[in-house]
């Protein structure tokens, strides 16, 4: 059933176009055909019944579905193609988050094992801060008075030395020690990269929901038939002349 306001707007549009066309060419316009005969101008009134296909649907429910799982709100409004696109994007972002999380955990464990084996430290229960500090300084042993010692750097700058277990990747005078420390730093770089990937995946999931909410709202406004949707002017060029097409969606 067509709402009263839409019916009145549609009737007024028909009357206006018919009157304008008759005034433009009273000898050539045929009201029963909705267009002018030879030498006249064409006026067309179309009623898009698809614009009201979601009139009985709930906007709140559609938005809630899109917020929980992007694409579900579009499916609720019969926009199957858009729904599939949002579902595929959501699946890809969740897959990226899953793999980035696994890589992050694997590299943290690799760093702990590597440090325990080559730095002489029990890093099995240590967290990110401890592992990052090991990647910045080769040793925590001030007694060796090496410039690559974390504790010595703290003492030289007048800072308080934190209490933590010792570690030592060996002096930089030995190439083998340097190679091991560089390998450890590489593991920690991959760990940081996985953290960045996690941030991007989470941000993408949030943006996917925001885009789905905006798209669901736009689809509902376009297909619920509630009020005037939009209007536009479109120039047209055809054989023998040109014209201007005025479209109103309601």
pLDDT averages per 10-residue partition of the chain, 250 residues: 51 51 45 47 54 82 95 93 95 97 96 92 86 81 56 55 69 86 94 97 96 94 69 66 61
Q: Which residue's entry shows tokens 């060029």?
A: 237
Token code pair at residue 210: 């925001």
Amino acid 25: pLDDT: 46
Cβ-in-10-Å burial (0-12, 13-18, 19+) of 13 comes to middle
The region, left, alpha or beta by phi > 0 then psi within -120 to 50, assigned to residue 10 is alpha
Token code pair at residue 96: 């990226």
Token code pair at residue 214: 């905006």
Q: Write out the H or E segment, with its range, that includes residue 72.
A: helix 72-76
Sign of CA dihedral 72, 73, 76, 82: negative
Q: Which tens digit of pLDDT belongs to each residue from 79-104?
A: 999 999 999 999 999 999 999 999 99
Q: What are the distances in angstroms from CA 172 to CA 4, 139, 177, 243?
A: 86, 10, 6, 81
| Residues across the chain | 250
Other beta carbons within 10 angstroms of residue 58's beta carbon come to 12
Amino acid 126: pLDDT: 87
Q: Which residue's entry shows tokens 């002018």?
A: 36
| Distance from C-alpha of 90 to C-alpha of 104, rounded to nearest angstrom | 21
Tell which residue, 212, 207, 206, 215, has the closest CA to residue 87.
212
pTM of this prediction? 0.64
| Distance from C-alpha of 50 to C-alpha of 229, rounded to nearest angstrom | 13
Query: Are the C-beta atoms of 146 and 171 separated by less than 8 Å?
Result: yes
Other beta carbons within 10 angstroms of residue 22's beta carbon come to 17
Token code pair at residue 226: 């509630």
Query: Are the C-beta atoms of 97 and 205 separated by less than 8 Å?
Result: yes
Amino acid 188: pLDDT: 95
């Amino acid at each position: 059933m067509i709402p009263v306001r839409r019916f009145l707007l549609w009737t007024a549009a028909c009357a206006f176009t018919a009157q304008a066309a008759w005034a433009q060419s009273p000898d050539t316009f045929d009201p029963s055909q909705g267009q002018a005969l030879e030498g006249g101008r064409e006026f067309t009134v179309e009623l898009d019944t698809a614009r009201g296909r979601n009139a009985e649907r709930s906007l709140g429910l559609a938005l809630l579905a899109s917020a929980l799982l992007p694409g579900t709100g579009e499916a609720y409004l019969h926009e199957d193609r858009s729904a599939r696109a949002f579902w595929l994007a959501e699946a890809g972002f969740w897959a990226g988050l899953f793999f980035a999380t696994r890589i992050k955990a694997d590299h943290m464990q690799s760093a702990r094992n590597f440090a325990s084996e080559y730095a002489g430290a029990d890093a099995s229960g240590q967290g990110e801060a401890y592992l990052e500090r090991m990647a910045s300084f080769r040793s925590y042993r001030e007694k060796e008075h090496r410039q690559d010692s974390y504790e010595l750097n703290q003492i030289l700058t007048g800072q308080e030395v934190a209490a933590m277990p010792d570690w030592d990747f060996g002096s930089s005078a030995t190439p083998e020690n340097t190679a091991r420390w560089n390998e450890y730093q590489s593991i920690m770089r991959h760990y940081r990269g996985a953290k960045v990937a996690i941030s991007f995946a989470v941000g993408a999931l949030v943006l996917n929901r925001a885009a789905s909410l905006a798209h669901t709202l736009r689809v509902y406004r376009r297909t619920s038939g509630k009020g005037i949707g939009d209007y536009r002017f479109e120039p047209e060029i055809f054989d023998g002349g040109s014209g201007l097409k005025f479209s109103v969606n309601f």
